[in-house]
Amino acid sequence: MTINVNIGEAKTRLSELVSRALEGEEVILQKAGRPVLKLMPLVQAGRLEAERVAALRTAGVGAFQAAFSGQDLSLEALKADRDDPLARFRRKFGPAA
């Protein structure tokens, strides 16, 4: 059930509205008849924020999809492109004593 309440009325009923929101009801605060705010528990808000961030990350990765199309991005292929770590060490510091 959704509870729509004007901000002025919400001032006097805040405790009740908070407890109803914690029980899982949707509480919408309105200003001049237009919805402006939704009360929700922090656990639910955190989950929604995590979903929003995950969607942004997915969109960001998708932006590079065309740049890497046709390339082998498997772990084996990525490892094959790397030098031997000992060879890099020798180039940088000389032969081990």
Please write the tens of the pLDDT for every residue from 69-81.
888 878 887 777 7
pLDDT for 61 equals 76
Q: Domain total for the chain? A: 2
pLDDT for 97 equals 59
* pLDDT-based confidence at residue 96 (cuts at 50, 70, 90): low
Domain check: are 81 and 54 in the same one?
yes
CA angle 74, 76, 78 (to 5 degrees): 70
- pLDDT tens, position by position, 19-48: 999 999 999 999 999 999 999 998 899 999
pLDDT for 77 equals 79
Domain check: are 31 and 65 in the same one?
no
Domain check: are 36 and 66 in the same one?
no
69: domain range?
44-89
Domain check: are 36 and 48 in the same one?
no
CA distance 32 to 7: 9
> Does a structural domain hold residue 96?
no
Q: What residue ranges in the chain does DSSP mark as E strands?
A: 2-6, 26-31, 34-39
pLDDT for 21 equals 94
CA distance 52 to 31: 26
